[in-house]
């Protein structure tokens, strides 16, 4: 059984992950972490989730939780993620990082940590989005000289723009095409879960590739798949293409 710690447990993603993990017999939730001052600290998870289990309390003590756990799932801020990564590294445990907005310095820190511990780091845990990555690469290889543009839309609370997924899509295209200008329109309104569209406008035809997330469950379930994958691995940095057995980009 995988002993799981969930950071940002009372946020929208954290609650989804908690709900799905509590119903999965492969997981035992041993840590539910929130930042100091969160009103849920000290409450039983069963109260927070409105369910009979799990019966542990929300805490701000990451160090104690990590000592009990095998894998940390992290969907918080870049600053908190890197702070928690240091604790995971010190305790030689595994981590799944779904946090977006991490800068180049942060990415280098993650890469260095992966030389000693197993890390899954992906801007998007959705199976469908990772298929979109593959389709975008194939379209970039086949279409000779299209005009390429991108639109991404998320809820009004999302701070980073463009999204980590949009940046990843742009990088996939640039890796194939070389230096090219890819305009990205970022929309922040309402409670949109996540939409991404890449348009390839060629001379005689236009191809639009779109992914629409119906629910945060798609990201939460992907994070749990990643946790099962990383629990069996030694040191190294992996992404969702590795987790899903897709071609890596």
128 is in an annotated binding site: no
Catalytic-role residue among 93, 154, 168, 196 = 154
Q: What confidence score (pLDDT) does residue 115 get?
A: 98
Q: Are 29 and 51 in contact (CB under 8 A)?
A: no
Domain boundary assignment for the chain: 2-125+217-244, 127-212
Nearest to 127 by CA among 235, 21, 224: 224
Q: How far apart are CA 141 and CA 243, in angstroms?
A: 24
The SS3 assignment for 229 reads helix
Domains 2-125+217-244 and 127-212 share a fold: no
DSSP code of 59? B
Instruction: Give tens-digit pLDDT for 53-63.
Output: 677 999 999 99
Is the pTM value of this prediction over 0.85? no
Q: In what order do the strands lie in the sheet with 147-154?
A: 184-188, 147-154, 195-201, 206-212
Residue 113 burial (C-beta neighbours within 10 Å; 0-12, 13-18, 19+):
buried
Q: What is the mean pLDDT of residues 111-136?
A: 94
Of the candidate CATH numbers 3.30.930.10, 3.30.360.10, 1.20.1070.10, 3.30.2350.10, the domain formed by 127-212 belongs to 3.30.360.10
Task: pLDDT band for 101, please (50, 70, 90 cuts).
Answer: confident
Q: Is 158 a catalytic residue?
A: yes
Catalytic-role residue among 158, 174, 228, 233 = 158
Q: Identify the CATH homologous superfamily for domain 2-125+217-244.
A: NAD(P)-binding Rossmann-like Domain (3.40.50.720)
The SS3 assignment for 49 reads helix
125 is in an annotated binding site: yes
Q: Which H or E run includes 29?
A: strand 27-33
Cα 172 to Cα 38, 137, 177, 231: the distances in Å are 38, 6, 9, 28
Q: What tokens were used for 94?
A: 């595994």
Q: What tokens were used for 79?
A: 């600053």
163 is in an annotated binding site: no
As a whole number of Å, the CA-based R_g of the chain is 19
Q: Are 80 and 107 in contact (CB under 8 A)?
A: no
DSSP code of 37? T
155 is in an annotated binding site: yes
Task: pLDDT band for 97, please (50, 70, 90 cuts).
Answer: very high
Instruction: Give tens-digit pLDDT for 230-248.
Output: 999 999 999 998 999 886 6
Q: What tokens were used for 175?
A: 């890796």
174 is in an annotated binding site: no
Using left for φ > 0, alpha for ψ between -120 and 50, and beta otherwise, residue 212 falls in: beta
35 is in an annotated binding site: yes
12 is in an annotated binding site: yes
206 is in an annotated binding site: no
Instruction: Give tens-digit pLDDT for 131-183.
Output: 999 999 999 999 989 999 999 999 999 988 999 899 999 999 999 999 888 99
Cα 139 to Cα 112, 132, 201, 204, 206: the distances in Å are 33, 10, 11, 15, 11
State yes or no: pLDDT of 185 exceeds 80: yes
Instruction: Give tens-digit pLDDT for 28-87.
Output: 999 999 999 999 999 998 888 776 667 799 999 999 999 999 999 999 999 999 999 999
Q: What confidence score (pLDDT) does residue 249 get?
A: 58
């Amino acid at each position: 059984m995988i002993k799981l710690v969930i950071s940002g447990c009372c946020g929208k993603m954290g609650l989804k992950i908690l709900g799905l993990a509590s119903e999965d017999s492969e997981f035992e939730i041993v840590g539910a972490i929130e930042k100091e001052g969160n009103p849920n600290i000290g409450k039983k998870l069963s109260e927070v989730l409105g369910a009979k289990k799990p019966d542990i309390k929300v805490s701000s003590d990451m160090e104690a939780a990590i000592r009990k756990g095998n894998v940390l799932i992290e969907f918080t801020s870049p600053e908190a993620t890197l702070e928690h990564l240091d604790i995971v590294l010190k305790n030689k445990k595994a981590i799944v990082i779904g946090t977006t907005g991490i800068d180049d310095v942060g990415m280098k820190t993650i890469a260095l940590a992966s030389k000693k511990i197993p890390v899954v780091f992906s801007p998007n845990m959705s199976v469908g989005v990772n298929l979109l990555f593959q389709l975008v690469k194939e379209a970039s290889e086949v279409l000779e000289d299209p005009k390429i543009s991108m639109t991404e839309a998320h809820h009004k609370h999302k701070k980073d723009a463009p999204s980590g997924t949009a940046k990843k899509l742009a990088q996939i295209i640039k890796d194939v095409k070389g230096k090219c200008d890819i305009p990205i329109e970022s929309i922040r309104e309402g409670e949109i879960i996540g939409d991404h569209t890449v348009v390839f406008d060629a001379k005689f035809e236009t191809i639009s590739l779109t992914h629409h997330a119906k629910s945060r469950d798609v990201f939460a379930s992907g994070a749990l798949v990643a946790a099962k994958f990383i629990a069996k691995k030694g040191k190294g940095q992996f992404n969702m293409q590795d987790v899903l057995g897709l071609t890596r980009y």
